[in-house]
Structures are given as structure tokens and as C-alpha cells.
Homo-oligomer: A and B are copies of this chain.
Amino acid sequence: MRSSRGPGQRAGLSRDRVLDAATDLLAESGAVTMRAVAQRLGVAPNALYSHVADKTELVDGVLDRVLAQVDAPPLEPGGSPGDAMHRLMTSTHGVLIRHPQLVPAFLARQGARGANARHLGAVMLEHLAVAGITGDAAREALRVLIVYTIGFAAFDGAPDERPVPHSELRADFDRGLHWLITGIIESVR
């Protein structure tokens, strides 16, 4: 368990293993620090810098892994685009509140920019296009929906003296999301 490794001896790290450790650590303890990730991997803190530029890049990597859990069903021919958007954002909200420690990072990055985030954004834009909303209007609408979703997730993860129950916050989120999507779709009619 101690350091059975001298200088120069490989520990078998990789970028993937570092991200794995960080993701696990987040799920278990809720906090991610360079030193804790290193400890979990049994290496010196600075060993991580061979596989990750800095903490920001590490957090970005974890963010995109978490976003992979969002359920983004592809466009259905006969379905309602409003319903599809509602489902996608609700799934995103669910994933976020299961990882409250990452929500501030999502906010600071305006919603992440990894591959999974881009995919989710593209799916949303498809739904908006079906609803007749394209170009700048679509990007604005998407930004509003993302802000709302992440904002509510941030609210949920926050500790409070008299905390609002999760179920109630979920209902609030759903109601507001309905107002937003209705407003977005009706703005084009």
C-alpha cells in the first residue's frame, strides 16, 4: 500500500485511468482534488500532470463522462418535438442532481464542451428545427433551456437550513420547463 515504487518506476497510469479515478472519487466522496485522485491511484500528486494538463482539464473530462449518462432518444418521425425536448432536459436534470458536486463546474463552463455535450446540443437543435425554430433563435432557446436546467440542478444540490424536498424541486423544475418550452414553441406561431 505504501510506495513500493522508486523514481523512474512506472505506475501504469493513463489519461483514462486518471479520469476513472476522478469519476469514482466524485461519486463516493463528492469532492475532487488532485491530491485525492493521486492518492487513490497510489501515486505522487504531481504524477497526474503527465496525463492531464491541469485540474480544469481533469474536471472537463469528468464532466463529459457524466453527460454520457443522459438519455437522448433520437428524433421520432411522428413525435412531438416539445415532448422530446422536455424528456431530454429532464434526463439531464436527473443526471446533474445525481452529481451535485459537478454542477458548479458545469455552470462555470457554460454547460461543458466535450463530445457528449455537443451531441446533446445537436439533438436539441434537431427537435427545435422540427418545431420550426432554427438559426440564432434556436441557439438562444437552447441556451435558455440549458441555463434553466443547470440552474435548477445547482439549487437542488445546495445545502440549506430548511431544505426544499427533492420531489418538490423536481415538480418546480418540470413546471418551469413546461412554461419555457411552451413559450419557445409558441413564439414561432
Q: A residues near B, CB below 8 A?
A: 104, 107-110, 113, 140, 143-144, 147-148, 150-152, 154-155, 158-161, 164, 169, 171-172, 175-176, 178-180, 182-184, 187
Contact = CB atoms under 8 A, between A and B. Distances in A.
Contacts of A109: 158, 160
The majority secondary structure among interface residues of chain A is helix
Contacts of A155: 107, 110, 143, 147
B148 A150 contact: no
B140 A175 contact: yes
A157 B150 CA distance: 15
B148 A108 contact: no
B140 A172 contact: yes
A113 B180 CA distance: 27
A146 to B, nearest CB: 8
Nearest to A171: B140
Contacts of A159: 108
Contacts of A150: 151, 154
Contacts of A143: 155, 164, 169, 172
A113 B108 CA distance: 23
A176 B107 contact: no
Contact of A180 (B152, B161, B176): B176
A152 B147 contact: yes
A104 to B, nearest CB: 6
B160 A147 contact: no
A124 to B, nearest CB: 15
